[in-house]
Structures are given as structure tokens and as C-alpha cells.
């Protein structure tokens, strides 16, 4: 990974550039690696875990790709703007933005600590809006923005009230943003995964709960981060560019 500006000036130009928030682990890491495999230079955003973000970026560069890691709390508009500045400085622009950063809290609505509600909504609503705002300002013509929701918005499992409410907000701005970007050939879509085997999903669940959720889709398994990364690659690639303003429930057939 190059950090010297003089060295960067001798590198070949990059055709396409992606900013992936929450790119240090889970779905975000899989997305960053998949987009790099498809030839994009990747800015791996992270909030706290610099070591994990470095692992993601190092894996990409070890495979012949180009990646840098950039710290930013997605709810901090100044930090996010600086991350996009870094993408433009390092690689010349931004063509794909994927907002994988998110926060999950499980609790019955009656018992939920409102401080937890505020934290969830700060990341999942304010953060999603901040990243979408920068994407709208920075994406080059022909680019793509992908947000993340959850299939729980549709399944409405008990205990997911705060999380589903925050992701419903993400879904509600998807078509609005797509329409606001008319004339720039930019697509805006949101992916709503079902149960996916990430640390965030598995944390706090018993083996029986995980097994039950795995059996819920007709395909009778949990999704993998790679399953979701493949959907992102489709939506941000030329084959998926006619898909716009949509919520795609990538969940193995859950209602």
C-alpha cells in the first residue's frame, strides 16, 4: 500500500474507485474484496478497528489490487467528507459508494434503553444519510450507490424494533435519491439481507436460535457475506445498471 504522494504519481490511472463503509469486517469486508477482484480501487472505511481494516486492505493489495484504509464515523459529516477527499486524492475520484456500516441492538420495544435507540439511529439513519449525501455530491457520472437495509423490515421479528425502524428509513430515501440524481446516469439501490453469518448477526444468539433462523429461508441456510457481496457487484457493475431505485431482498426466499 502506497502512502507517498510522489510514488502515487507514477502509478497507472485507476479506471473505477469504490468507497466501502464498514469495510473492515463482515459484509463490508466481503464487498471490498469482491469489488477489488472486479478491478476497482477500494477505500476501506472503518470506525474503530484499524487492525481489521488493515487486514482487509492488505488482503486486497496482496492479491494485486489497490486499497487504502480510512477511519471515519459515518455519522460525522466532517470525517466522512475527509474520507471522500482521501479517495479523490489517492485514486482520482469516486464511482461506487457502498454503505455497509451499521449497528444492531436487540430488545423488546418495552424494554429498550432509549440511549441504545439513539446510538442505533445515529449510525443507521444519520450515518446512512451522511454517506448518501457525500455520494450524491461526489459520484462521477455513471456511478452507483448501494445502501443497506434488512429483511427484518418485512419479516418483522420481535426484538428487532429499533433496528428495523432505522433500516426502514434507509429504504424510504432510496428512490428519492435515485430521482434526485436524474441526469447523471447514477444508480441508487438498497440491499436488504436476510440472516447472514457475520459476527454482528451471530453475537448474542444461542445455537438453537441460529439454527432456527438458518432453516427459515427455503434454501435452508444462512447467507454468507460473499452472497451479499456478489449482489453488490451486480448492482454496481454494467450488468446491473438498469436496476435503479430498488430494494433488493437478498435473503434466500424469506417473506
Residue spans per domain, the chain? 14-248
For the chain, give the percent of residues with pLDDT over 90: 86
The CA angle 183-42-168, to the nearest 5 degrees, is 60
Residue with cell 438458518: 214
Mean pLDDT value across residues 213-227: 93
Per-residue pLDDT tens over the stretch 121-131: 999 999 999 99
Distances in whole angstroms, Cα of residue 204 to Cα of each of 38, 47, 201, 208: 35, 21, 8, 12
Instruction: Give all strands (DSSP E) within 16-166, no chain letters.
Output: 17-21, 41-46, 67-71, 94-99, 139-148
State yes or no: pLDDT of 8 exceeds 80: no
Q: CATH topology for 14-248? A: Rossmann fold (3.40.50)
Find the radius of gyration of the CA atoms of the chain. 18
Distance between CA 235 and CA 143 in Å, rounded? 10
Distance between CA 145 and CA 218 in Å, rounded? 29
Distance between CA 226 and CA 123 in Å, rounded? 23
Helices (H) and strands (E) in the chain, counts: 11, 7
| Active-site residue list | 163
Residue 10 confidence (pLDDT): 45
Burial of 48 (0-12, 13-18, 19+ CB in 10 A): exposed
pTM: 0.92
Distance between CA 15 and CA 92 in Å, rounded? 9
Amino acid at each position: 500500500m502506497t502512502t507517498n504522494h510522489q510514488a502515487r504519481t507514477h502509478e497507472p490511472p485507476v479506471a473505477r474507485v469504490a468507497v466501502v463503509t464498514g469495510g473492515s469486517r463482515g459484509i463490508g469486508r466481503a464487498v471490498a474484496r469482491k469489488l477489488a477482484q472486479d478491478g476497482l480501487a477500494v477505500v476501506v472505511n472503518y470506525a474503530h478497528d484499524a487492525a481489521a481494516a488493515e487486514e482487509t486492505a492488505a488482503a486486497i493489495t496482496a492479491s494485486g489490487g489497490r486499497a487504502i484504509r480510512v477511519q471515519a464515523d459515518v455519522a460525522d459529516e466532517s470525517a466522512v467528507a475527509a474520507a471522500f477527499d482521501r479517495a479523490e486524492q489517492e485514486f482520482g475520484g469516486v464511482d461506487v459508494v457502498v454503505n455497509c456500516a451499521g449497528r444492531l441492538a436487540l430488545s423488546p420495544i418495552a424494554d429498550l434503553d432509549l440511549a441504545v435507540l439513539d446510538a442505533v439511529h445515529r449510525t443507521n439513519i444519520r450515518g446512512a444519510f451522511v454517506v448518501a449525501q457525500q455520494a450524491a455530491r461526489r459520484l462521477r457520472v455513471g456511478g452507483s450507490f448501494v445502501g443497506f437495509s434488512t429483511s427484518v423490515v418485512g419479516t418483522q421479528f420481535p426484538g428487532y424494533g429499533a433496528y428495523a425502524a432505522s433500516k426502514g428509513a434507509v429504504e424510504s430515501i432510496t428512490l428519492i435519491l435515485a430521482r434526485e440524481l436524474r441526469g447523471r446516469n447514477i444508480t441508487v439501490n438498497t440491499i436488504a439481507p436476510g440472516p447472514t453469518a457475520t459476527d454482528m448477526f451471530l453475537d448474542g444468539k444461542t445455537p438453537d436460535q441460529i439454527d432456527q433462523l438458518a432453516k427459515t429461508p427455503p434454501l435452508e441456510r444462512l447467507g454468507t457475506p460473499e452472497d451479499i457481496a456478489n449482489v453488490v457487484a451486480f448492482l454496481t457493475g454494467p450488468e446491473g445498471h438498469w436496476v435503479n431505485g430498488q430494494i433488493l431482498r437478498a435473503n434466500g426466499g424469506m417473506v
